[in-house]
A and B are shown apart, each in its own frame.
Chain A
Amino acid sequence: MPSAPDFELERSAMRHLADAQINVELDTGDMILNLGPQHPATHGTLRLVVRLDGERVLAADPVIGYMHRGYEKLTEFRTYPQVTTLINRIDWLSSFANEVPFVHAAETLMEVAAPPRAQAIRTILTELSRISTFILFLGEMGLQVGALTPAFYGFRDREHVLNLIEGATGGRFHPNFNRIGGLKDDLPWGWVSETRQVMRMMLDSCDQFEDLVAGNEIFLQRTKGIGVIPGEIGAAYGVSGSNLRASGVDWDLRRDGPPYLSYPELDFKVWTHPDGDSFSRYWVRLQETRESVRMVLQLLDGLPAGPVMAKVPRIIKVPEGEAWVEVENPLGQMGYYVISKGATGPFRVKIRSASFSNVSILPWLLRGVYVPDVVTILASLYFILGDIDR
Chain B
Amino acid sequence: MLALEIGWGTTLAIKTLVVLMIIPLGALILGYVFLLKMMSHMQSRLGPMDPGGFHGWFQLIGDGMKFIQKEDIMPDGADRRVFAGAPAVVLISTFLVFLVIPMGPDLVVKDLDVGVFYALAVSSLSVIGVLMAGWASANKYALLGALRAAGQLIAYELPLLLAVTGVVIQAGTMNLNQIVIQQQENAIFGVDWIGNPYILTQFVGFALFIIAAQAELTQTPFDMPVAESELVSGYMVEYTGFRFLFFFMGEFGTAFAFSAIAATLFLGGYAVPWVHGDAANWIGPFVLFGKLMLVAFLMFWARFTYPRLREDQLQAFAWKFLIPIGLANLLFTAFFKVAL
Contacts and interface: CB of A to CB of B under 8 A. Distances in A.
A-B interaction = yes
B309 A152 contact: no
A82 interface: no
A216 B308 CA distance: 11
Contact of B310 (A149, A153, A372): A372
A33 B232 contact: yes
Contact of A156 (B44, B224, B232, B305): B44
Interface string B141-165: 0011000000000000000000000
Contact of A153 (B39, B43, B313): B43
Interface residues of A, number: 31
Interface stretch (A35-43, A254-262, A270-278): A35-43
B220 A41 contact: no
Contacts of B5: none
Interface in A368-385: 370-375
Interface of A: 25-26, 28, 31, 33, 35, 39-41, 142, 145-149, 152-153, 156, 212-213, 216, 218-219, 221-222, 370-375
Contacts of B43: 148-149, 152-153
Interface of B: 39, 42-45, 140, 143-144, 220-221, 223-224, 227-228, 230-232, 304-313
Contacts of A147: 220, 305-308
A28 B306 CA distance: 31
B230 A26 contact: no
Contacts of A156: 44
Contact of A218 (B39, B44, B306, B312): B306
Given A41-B231, A147-B220, A372 B311 contact: yes
B232 A216 contact: no
A146 B140 contact: no
Contacts, number: 76
Nearest to B306: A218
A212 B310 contact: no
B307 A219 contact: yes
B140 A28 contact: yes
A142 B221 CA distance: 12
B275 to A, nearest CB: 39
Nearest to A370: B310
A26 B144 contact: yes
Contact of B230 (A28, A41, A218, A221): A41
Nearest to B42: A149
B145 to A, nearest CB: 11
Given A33-B231, A148-B39, A221-B309, 9 more contacts: A26-B140, A28-B140, A39-B230, A146-B227, A147-B305, A148-B220, A152-B45, A222-B309, A372-B224
A312 B75 CA distance: 68
Nearest to A157: B44
B220 A146 contact: yes
B231 A35 contact: yes
Given A25-B143, A26-B144, A41-B231, A153 B44 contact: yes
Most buried by A among B144, B305, B307: B307
B310 A375 contact: no
Most buried by A among B144, B309, B311: B309
A176 to B, nearest CB: 30
B307 A372 contact: no
Given A146-B307, A146-B308, A372 B228 contact: yes
A225 to B, nearest CB: 12
Contacts of A372: 224, 228, 231, 310-311
Nearest to B229: A40
Most buried by B among A146, A148, A370: A146
B144 to A, nearest CB: 7
A149 B221 contact: no
A373 B144 CA distance: 17
A149 B232 CA distance: 23
Nearest to B303: A148
Nearest to B223: A146
B231 A373 contact: no
B143 A218 contact: no
A17 B309 CA distance: 35
A145 B308 contact: yes
Contacts of A28: 140, 144
